Amino acid sequence: MASLRVFFTFPDPVNEKAARAVAAVVLMEAVLLLVTGWWWLTLPLAYGFWARVLTGPRLSPLGWAAQNLIAPRLGERRPVPGPPKRFAQGIGAALATAALLLGFLAGDHRVGEVLVALFLPAAGLEALLGLCLGCRLFGLLIGLGLIPESACVECADLSGRLGLSAPPAVPRS
């Protein structure tokens, strides 16, 4: 059972350069689908998100290529917390699966197009600016207490990312 647990893991930390490479391909895939109407593209889109959310890059050809081929050519690794990236991949999996079911299998292309169009700002901001909307939502949910801080201690402490010093420790008496 332990080997199965290791198989279904997500890297922590994640190389932001690999995440941005994945987002760039997702962005291109979404644009291609919207321009051509090739709804079969929702199959690899949904598979890729599910593979990445369940096993990281292990079962995702795109994730593997981004981590092992593309990111190393983009310079030094830039580690970022894994849990928010996995959360973002989960959102992508849900949207891509809904687009697959509605747009491709049920033929409701209007709803499918709206769902695929949601990838444009999300994947575009991640690929071009390194701004992960799913990660921001993850942090917001931690702040609201809907996700425990223990899920990502680094995410809960914004002081390092905002250039602030951590609050001083209160001495115990």
Is 172 a member of any domain? no
How many folded domains does the chain comprise? Answer: 1
User: 134 with 83: CB under 8 angstroms?
Assistant: no
Is 173 a member of any domain? no
| Gap between the Cα atoms of 85 and 71, Å rounded | 16
Is 130 a member of any domain? yes
Confidence of residue 157 (pLDDT cuts 50, 70, 90): low
pLDDT higher than threshold 60 for residue 40: yes
Partner residues linked to 79 by β-bridges: 15
Is 106 a member of any domain? yes
46-80 tens-digit pLDDT = 999 999 999 999 999 999 999 999 999 999 999 99
* Percent above pLDDT 70 for the chain: 86
- Round the average pLDDT of the chain to a whole number and report it: 88
pLDDT of 59: 93
- Over residues 120-138, the mean pLDDT reads 96
Is 90 a member of any domain? yes
Confidence of residue 158 (pLDDT cuts 50, 70, 90): low
pLDDT of 35: 97
Confidence of residue 173 (pLDDT cuts 50, 70, 90): very low
Is 167 a member of any domain? no
Confidence of residue 29 (pLDDT cuts 50, 70, 90): very high
pLDDT higher than threshold 50 for residue 166: no
- Over residues 6-25, the mean pLDDT reads 90
Question: Domain range for residue 98?
Answer: 2-156
Is 164 a member of any domain? no
pTM: 0.84
pLDDT of 100: 95
CA distances from 155 to 6, 49, 110, 144, 146 (A): 23, 22, 36, 13, 14
pLDDT of 154: 78
Partner residues linked to 80 by β-bridges: 14
